Amino acid sequence: MKLKSEEIIEIFERFKKQNPAPRPELEYSDNYTLLVAVVLSAQTTDKSVNKVTEKLFKLAPVPQKMVRLGAEKVEEIIRPIGLSKNKSKNVVELSKQLIENFNGTVPDTMKELLSLSGVGRKTANVVLNVAFGKKVMPVDTHVLRVSQRIGFSDCDNPEEMEKVLVEKIPSEYMKHAHHWLILHGRYVCTARAPKCEECIIKDICKLNRIK
């Protein structure tokens, strides 16, 4: 049972009314710190990342200072979030790449972002959307789960779901669409015990219709 176009519009109208201008929960001050924070957020929570980046960005708010700080020191700072060895190497290496290939600035195309160490498609889409206002759809575990439950698609491949969402979600909602879906998945449509009684789209959701 898939969502109809009018149901999709109603879902995003309700999200919009509840939260007109959602923002990422990651803390950042510019495109560079956004990129680093998103890279660090893989397989951990935004809250955990914010705790380590508070110190990291004081010491290295720009690529040049991150390179000078070095992978060993970065690893020491970000150790609490896990995968610190690989993440620290990626952060320092992508900082070098920004300096060498992009004059120290974060690029604004998918191809260029994917050329950076530690940057996958989801990270690139977050940066393109948040930093540059592009109408793209980052798909993380929350977005994938919520999209399946609501009734966008049964596919379990993030890249396939990305295509479905970009195709089906009207353009006027795309600026904030992934934030709305992430927040809904994080706080309402949770993995183990979705709070269906609190859900503002429970009358439209496919999960409820098949119960």
Catalytic center residues: 122, 140
* CA proximity to 88, closest of 75, 104, 101: 75
User: Are 137 and 177 spatial neighbours (Cβ–Cβ below 8 Å)?
Assistant: yes
Compute the distance between CA of residue 38 and CA of residue 63 in angstroms, rounded to an integer. Answer: 15
Q: How many CB atoms lie within 10 A of CB 23?
A: 10
> H or E stretch including 44?
none
DSSP alpha helix (H) spans, 60-140: 63-78, 84-102, 110-114, 121-132
Compute the distance between CA of residue 78 and CA of residue 84 in angstroms, rounded to an integer. Answer: 6
